[in-house]
């Protein structure tokens, strides 16, 4: 009795750890999807009128698309044979601990938020929120210092780019008041 109830659970655990071990297959799936996308786009293209010269706008996308499919297959073979891509190392990178997904998600959210805000509230405010939010997500909790640094950095960048370097950034209502 006990063996029968144990086996499915062990099997799913096995399968899960196999998937975790072979998560790089996800890259193959993405490459495959990208290849299909490129090929579909190339083959549904309407080129009769625009074709000029022996090679039209379709040829290179077809080559790239087929290349993606081939690479996806080769990479899958490599992964199944035990090949692994080496995660990149760096000065501040510690690979001994598992990835901290919460921070990555938070940063992505903060970045998207700033992108949405930049036009309605202007760059100085949106930029300051981006810096403060990102610093917060990365673990900085100095409420006395962080917002101040964010505001100064954002205002100074706005002034340098907009007024000194001639690269226009939206000022927003705040700059209208000042």
- Tokens representing 96 are 């001994």
Residue 154 CB, nearest approach to other proteins (Å): 8
> Whose Cβ is closer to other proteins: residue 8's or residue 98's?
98
Residue 143 CB, nearest approach to other proteins (Å): 13
- Tokens representing 64 are 């790239």
Which of positions 8-37 make contact with other proteins (CB under 8 A)? 24, 27, 30-31, 34, 37
Among 75, 130, 76, 127, residue whose Cα is nearest residue 107: 130
- Tokens representing 4 are 């029968």
Q: Which string of DSSP letters, residue by residue, matches 145-160? A: THHHHHHHHHHHHHHI
Residue 6 CB, nearest approach to other proteins (Å): 34
Among 127, 146, 149, 126, residue whose Cα is nearest residue 136: 146
Which of positions 45-84 make contact with other proteins (CB under 8 A)? 45, 47, 50-57, 59-61, 64, 67-68, 71-72, 74-75, 78, 83-84
> Whose Cβ is closer to other proteins: residue 19's or residue 60's?
60
Which of positions 84-143 make contact with other proteins (CB under 8 A)? 84-88, 90-95, 97, 99-101, 103-104, 107-108, 111-112, 114-116, 118-119, 123, 127, 130-132, 134-140
């Amino acid at each position: 009795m006990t063996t029968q109830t144990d086996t499915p659970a062990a099997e799913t655990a096995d399968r899960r750890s196999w998937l975790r071990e072979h998560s790089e297959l996800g890259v193959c799936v993405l490459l495959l999807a990208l290849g299909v996308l490129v090929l579909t786009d190339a083959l549904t293209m309407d080129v009769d009128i625009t074709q000029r010269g022996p090679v039209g706008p379709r040829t290179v996308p077809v080559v790239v698309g087929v290349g993606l499919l081939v690479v996806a297959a080769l990479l899958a073979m490599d992964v199944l044979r035990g090949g692994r891509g080496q995660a990149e190392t760096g000065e501040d990178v510690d690979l001994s601990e598992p990835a901290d997904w919460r921070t990555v998600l938070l940063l992505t959210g903060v970045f998207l938020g700033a992108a949405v805000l930049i036009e309605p509230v202007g760059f100085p405010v949106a930029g300051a929120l981006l810096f403060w939010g990102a610093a917060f997500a990365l673990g900085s909790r100095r409420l006395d210092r962080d917002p101040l640094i964010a505001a100064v950095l954002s205002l100074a960048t706005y002034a340098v780019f907009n007024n000194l370097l001639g690269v226009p950034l939206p000022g927003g209502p705040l700059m209208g008041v000042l």
